[in-house]
Structure 1
Amino acid sequence: MISQVIFLFISGAEIVFILFIVLLVFGADKVPEIARGLGKGMRQIKDATNDIKSEITKSAEKQGIDVDITKDVRKEIDQVKDDVEEITGPIKRKF
């Protein structure tokens, strides 16, 4: 499921076709350099994002703001899942 989200629902054949076109356009010698550059760029973006998150968290903690809202959200989601399972459990058993 994660791969579908990352690739925006692109199938395997489409990915192979895109890679083939990239190979034709840039050549076999340049593809590793391009991939390495993309990897470095993605790593820098990830590091910058993590730095921003940590700065926001530190700032919020200094001001006394509860930054762990995800626990509350996760708790609510789990409660809804349990309620749905409780309702659909007997229906699933009948079929």
Structure 2
Amino acid sequence: MELSIGEMALIAVAIVVLFGPDKLPQIARDLGSGVRKMRGAVEDIKTEIMKETDNPVSEIKREIEKVKDAAKDFNPMKDIDKDVISEPKISDEAPKLKPSDDESYEGPVSR
């Protein structure tokens, strides 16, 4: 919202007419004080918001680092290799044949 010079002059004249020229300095001081208080309150709110949003983010970052460290040591292939090499399966059953290799396989029956 921008005010032109003419609009600002109109507002200044209205203030002088309403309050008189002797109260003008006091009004300006009060207005400046109010603006400073508002800026301070906005800054306080910004700082509080940054504090509140910073804590969960840093917590999440720490958790991500923990997961990354745990993932570095994890090797699923090591467990598979150990299981396959050290413990070969010995089965009493004959291996199952594929339907294409099994001559006695009749396939699905349609009616």
Show the counterpart of 1:9. Answer: 2
For residues 34-86 of structure 1, the C-alpha deviation after alignment (integer angstroms, 9 at most, x for no partner) is: 11111111111110110010011011111117xxxxxxxxxxxxxxxxxxxxx
Q: Which amino acid aligns with 1:63?
A: P
* Structure 1 unmatched runs, 5+: 1-7, 66-95
Answer yes or no: is 1:53 the counterpart of 2:41.
Answer: no
Aligned length: 58
CA distance in 1, matches of 2:47, 2:5: 36
RMSD: 1.4
Higher Rg: 2
TM-score, L = length of structure 1: 0.56
- Choose between structure 1 and 2: higher helix proportion: 1
Instruction: Tell which has more relative contact order, 1 or 2 (C-alpha 8 A, sep 6+).
Output: 1
Matches within 5 A, 1:37-76: 37-64=30-57
Runs of 4+ with deviation above 6 angstroms = none
Show the counterpart of 1:36. Answer: 29
Show the counterpart of 2:68. Answer: none
* Structure 2 unmatched runs, 5+: 59-111
